[in-house]
Structure 1
Amino acid sequence: MMSLGLLIIRLVIGMTFAGHGTQKLFGWFGGYGLKGTGQWLESIGMKPGYFMALMAGLSEVVGGLLFAAGIYTWVGALLIVFTMLVAIVKVHGANGFWVTSNGIEYNVMLMAVAIGVALIGPGAYVL
């Protein structure tokens, strides 16, 4: 049963995280693509914006897919944690904890799940 629980956690977190990356890279799921995301990143001081959007999008897609698949789960978790730390420092940290104030709540939850699964292991159901 634990492996099934880990599979559910990995799939939901990993695929959601990868989906966020496709918003940045391709504009899927209501995202702004590299150009739009890059412009926004430049507006908050992350330059060059296009390159930073590419790196963020790749980190999210690769990290999410590795995490979901249970392949190199610790690498996927590390990419998730690093991306969320950047989001906290550059965007959410000044807004407090709760997501209703654009705070760090969501970021911290993702980091906790990623670290927890990395420490436990991916379970038996992996690619």
Structure 2
Amino acid sequence: MEALEKSREYAIGLFRIVVGLLFASHGAATLFDVLGGPHGAKPDFAAWPGWWAAVIQLLGGTLVLCGLGTRAAALLCSGSMAYAYFVVHQPDALFPLENGGETAVMFCWSFLLIAVLGPGRWALAPLLRFRRRAGTRPIAPA
């Protein structure tokens, strides 16, 4: 059990990276017709809710993947998947296996877990904070 507890932050970090990558991939597939393309019709620019959901997937998933603003990004991603489940899937049937909402439910709860537990290891945010505390400033254009 002690070995499992020592690896906790690494496991959370790996979980965050994988979930963020998969979510960002969904957004990229929808917006840019890559990785097999969108699951349905490609949404028109700024069309509600499909295009905005894809933007949240791409940007939110990328932030979670990188460990930047992890808790806020994960909470937004979780909420977007809760919305997708209750608006798109749940009206067809009560249970995810019946209405095709398994992916939405899994992403929703996965991102909620990340929002609660934090980014774990290998997040970029602590590196940026360390750099600011060390007194280094970005080079400003002249």
Same fold (TM over 0.5): yes
Residues 96 and 105 in structure 2, CA contact (< 8 A), matched pair in contact too? no
Q: Highest CA radius of gyration, 1 or 2?
A: 2
Structure 1 residues 102 and 30: CA distance shift in structure 2, 3 A: farther
> Which of 33, 51, 56 pairs up with 2:53?
56
- Runs of 4 or more above 4 Å deviation: none
- 2:15 and 2:121 map into 1 onto residues whose CA distance is 13
Aligned partners of 2:82 and 2:29: how far apart in 1?
19
Q: Quote how far apart the aligned CAs of 1:98 are.
A: 3.0
TM-score by length of 2: 0.70
Distance 1:102 1:28 in 2: 26
Tell me how far 1:10 sits from its aligned partner: 0.7
2:90 is the counterpart of 1:87: no
- C-alpha distance in structure 2 between counterparts of 1:86 and 1:15, whole Å: 21
Q: Output one character per residue of 1:63-121: Cα deviation in whole Å (capped at 9) or x when no partner.
A: 1111111111112212211221221133211233233x334333222222211121111
User: Do the aligned partners of residues 57 and 12 (structure 1) sit closer, same or farther apart at CA in structure 2, a change above 3 Å counting?
Assistant: same
Answering whether residue 103 of structure 2 is matched by residue 106 of structure 1, we say: yes
Distance 1:102 1:26 in 2: 27
TM-score calculated relative to the size of structure 1: 0.77
1-side partners of 2:33 and 2:9: how far apart? 34
- 2:35 matched to 1:29? yes
Instruction: Work out whether residues 96 and 104 of structure 1, in 8 Å CA contact, stay in contact via their aligned partners in 2.
Output: no
CA RMSD between the two structures: 2.0
SS in 2 for 1:50: coil
Q: What is the alpha-carbon distance in structure 1 between the residues aligned to residue 64 and residue 111 of structure 2?
A: 8
Q: Match for residue 96 of structure 1?
A: 94
Runs (5+) with no aligned partner, structure 2: 1-6, 125-142
Between the two proteins, what is the percent identity of the paired residues?
Answer: 31
Tell me if 1:16 matches 2:22. Answer: yes
Q: How many residues align?
A: 114
